[in-house]
């Protein structure tokens, strides 16, 4: 099945109201074959660490993608995604051995890749990938955090997780281990809105409010800016980053 979608995209990052630096990075790029890649990364490790980790990870992946003319199959696309994520991981991890000032840095990584009628997602950490489908917002990625582990194992409830003191502790991230483990899923794509964000958005804006903004009859860039403004209005407790793709009806 050969499908090609026309659409609009927007990516934007904001420092928020509390942080002194922005350690998030985000981008949306297309390649020569019309494939679309959305990416968000939320760095950790402090100034000159987290911001470098997220920036360099996004740079490595997006530049490699723009040079990639296309993919022969879904299998090769998944393999490429895993491999380029591992390249980014090795780059970030090895720099810490070369320069002690970068010790402890890392970054989350969430990617959505649209190839005709397929949506391939990759996740590492707690940035999120959503799909807006049938008037609902569906979280495709799973938070790789200690608190989510506690919820899944039945030790705490979802409500308790929202206020747990260790809710920001990640169980996986780019650059913190010599090798990288990532989740990759392949889904059927039929033109739905694809929405990626860092925790600075979803910790400050409820999912039902995100959906309400996405339902507005506004240009894509105005929806993204409205969500960032809403997150800041609600406290802006962290950096806020969004990458979004919407199809256009012919």
How many CB atoms sit inside 10 A of residue 194's CB?
26
Listed residue (186, 205, 200, 185) closest to 240, CA to CA: 200
Q: Residue 145 — pLDDT band, cuts 50, 70, 90?
A: confident
- List of residues 6+ apart from 237 with CB closer than 8 A: 16, 17, 18, 200, 203, 204
When pLDDT is averaged across residues 226-244 and rounded to a whole number, the result is 97
Name which of 23-37, 64-78, 136-150 the model is least confident about: 136-150
List residues bridging with 26 in a β-sheet. 40
Please give, one letter per residue, the 3-state secondary structure of 155-180: CCCHHHHCCCCCCCCECCCECCCCCC
CATH number at residue 60: 3.60.40.10
In a domain, 135, yes or no: no
Give the pLDDT score at 2: 53
Q: Which two three-digit tokens encode residue 52?
A: 């470098």
List residues bridging with 130 in a β-sheet. 139, 195
In a domain, 225, yes or no: yes
Give the pLDDT score at 155: 81
* Residue with the larger pLDDT of the pair 216 and 148: 216
- List of residues 6+ apart from 143 with CB closer than 8 A: 125, 126, 128
Give the pLDDT score at 124: 95
In a domain, 148, yes or no: no
In a domain, 150, yes or no: no
* Residue with the larger pLDDT of the pair 141 and 181: 141
How many CB atoms sit inside 10 A of residue 4's CB?
8
* Residue with the larger pLDDT of the pair 19 and 164: 19
Give the pLDDT score at 194: 98
Distance, in Å, from the CA atom of 140 to the CA atom of 184, rounded to the nearest integer, reads 11
Give the pLDDT score at 47: 61
Count of structural domains, the chain: 1
In a domain, 168, yes or no: no
Distance, in Å, from the CA atom of 125 to the CA atom of 109, rounded to the nearest integer, reads 6
Q: Which two three-digit tokens encode residue 40?
A: 């968000």
Give the pLDDT score at 154: 79
* Residue with the larger pLDDT of the pair 1 and 168: 168
Give the pLDDT score at 148: 74
Q: Residue 7 — pLDDT band, cuts 50, 70, 90?
A: very high
CA angle 65, 70, 75 (to 5 degrees): 95
Tell whether pTM > 0.85: yes
| Tens digits of residue pLDDT in 44-80 | 986 668 999 999 999 999 999 999 888 999 999 999 9
Share of the chain above pLDDT 70, in %: 96
In a domain, 69, yes or no: yes
Q: Which domain covers residue 120, as residue numbers? A: 7-129+173-247
- What one-character DSSP code corresponds to residue 58? H
| Tens digits of residue pLDDT in 162-215 | 777 677 778 889 999 999 988 899 999 999 999 999 999 999 999 999 999 999
In a domain, 21, yes or no: yes
Distance, in Å, from the CA atom of 118 to the CA atom of 37, rounded to the nearest integer, reads 12
Q: Which two three-digit tokens encode residue 27?
A: 């981008």
In a domain, 142, yes or no: no
230: left (phi over 0), alpha (psi -120 to 50) or beta: alpha
Sheet holding 136-139, edge to edge: 7-14, 240-247, 193-197, 128-133, 136-139
């Amino acid at each position: 099945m050969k499908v090609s979608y026309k659409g609009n995209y927007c990516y934007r990052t904001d420092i928020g109201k509390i942080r002194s630096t922005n350690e998030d990075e985000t981008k949306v790029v297309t390649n020569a074959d019309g494939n679309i890649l959305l990416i968000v990364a939320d760095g950790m490790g402090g100034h000159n660490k987290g911001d470098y980790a997220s920036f360099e990870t996004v740079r490595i992946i997006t530049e490699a993608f723009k040079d990639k003319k296309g993919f022969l199959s879904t299998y090769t696309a998944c393999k490429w995604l895993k491999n380029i994520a591992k390249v980014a991981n090795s780059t970030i991890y090895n720099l810490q051995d070369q320069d002690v000032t970068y010790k402890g840095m890392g970054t989350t990584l969430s990617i959505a890749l649209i190839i005709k009628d397929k949506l391939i997602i990759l996740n590492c950490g707690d940035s999120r990938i959503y799909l807006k489908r049938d008037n609902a917002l569906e979280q495709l990625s799973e938070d790789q955090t200690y608190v989510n582990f506690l919820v899944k194992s039945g030790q705490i409830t979802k409500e308790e997780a929202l206020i747990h003191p260790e809710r920001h502790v990640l169980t996986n991230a780019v650059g913190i281990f010599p090798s990288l483990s990532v989740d990759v899923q392949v889904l059927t794509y039929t033109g739905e809105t694809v929405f990626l964000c860092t925790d600075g958005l979803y910790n400050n804006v409820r999912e039902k409010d995100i959906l309400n903004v996405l339902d507005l009859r506004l240009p894509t860039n105005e929806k993204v800016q409205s969500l960032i403004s809403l997150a800041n209005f609600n406290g802006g407790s962290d950096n806020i980053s969004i990458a979004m793709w919407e199809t256009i009806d012919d």
